[in-house]
Chain A
Amino acid sequence: GIQVEQSPPDLILQEGANSTLRCNFSDSVNNLQWFHQNPWGQLINLFYIPSGTKQNGRLSATTVATERYSLLYISSSQTTDSGVYFCAVFSGGSNYKLTFGKGTLLTVNP
């Protein structure tokens, strides 16, 4: 099956810093999503982005499907950005299902 790799596995920032999280995938995909898991365990949809660039406030994402990677940018980080960020891809043609990477644990210190 498809492999989804995220980097870095851990990231520690000072409040106000910018960061880039990367997601590589091993095969073509129907779609790609970024999630934020908050300290209570809830998965929050950030972006669904099969290709191109999207922005939502301080967050933006870019997927280059032909090169099989996606990037999540966080600017002017805040302590509330802390948590685990997951990339997940839909693949498998008509039998598509969602495969997750192992996540990036982001800690933003005040």
Chain B
Amino acid sequence: DADVTQTPRNRITKTGKRIMLECSQTKGHDRMYWYRQDPGLGLRLIYYSFDVKDINKGEISDGYSVSRQAQAKFSLSLESAIPNQTALYFCATSDNSPVTEAFFGQGTRLTVV
């Protein structure tokens, strides 16, 4: 089993619908992240959480919200999906060490029509 698991892996949704992407991890890491990948732009940080009570906005948080339900679970919501949110979404984790390594889920390919 993967250490960082994202569900669903693929999703097509309609404009205006609410959608939730889920991430769970078995690595025991405190820090979790949501990234978005668009062609030619690399990965950009949406939200990050350093522990269950600490959530922070990244560089592109508008239109998104998150929930850290437990140390192992971090979900990303699109309250009202729009077509330009079509992208590949990644969840990642890392520990609290200053010299840490990030581990990524398999990605969720989201299409908003």
A-side interface residues toward B, CB under 8 Å? 1, 30-31, 33, 35, 41-43, 45, 48, 50, 86, 88, 90, 94-103
Contact = CB atoms under 8 A, between A and B. Distances in A.
Contact of A88 (B48, B88, B102): B102
- Interface size bracket, B side: 20 to 34
Contacts of B92: 98
Contacts of A103: 42
Interface of B: 33, 35, 40-45, 48, 50, 56, 58-59, 88, 90, 92, 94, 98-104, 106-107, 109
A102 B100 CA distance: 21
Contacts, number: 56
B102 A100 contact: no
A1 B45 CA distance: 12
Contacts of B102: 33, 88, 90, 98
A41 B88 contact: yes
Contacts of B59: 1
A102 B44 CA distance: 10
Given A97-B48, A97-B58, A102 B101 contact: no
5 residue pairs, one from A and one from B, having the closest CB atoms: A102-B42, A48-B101, A100-B42, A100-B43, A43-B104
A85 B92 CA distance: 17
B68 to A, nearest CB: 15
A97 to B, nearest CB: 6
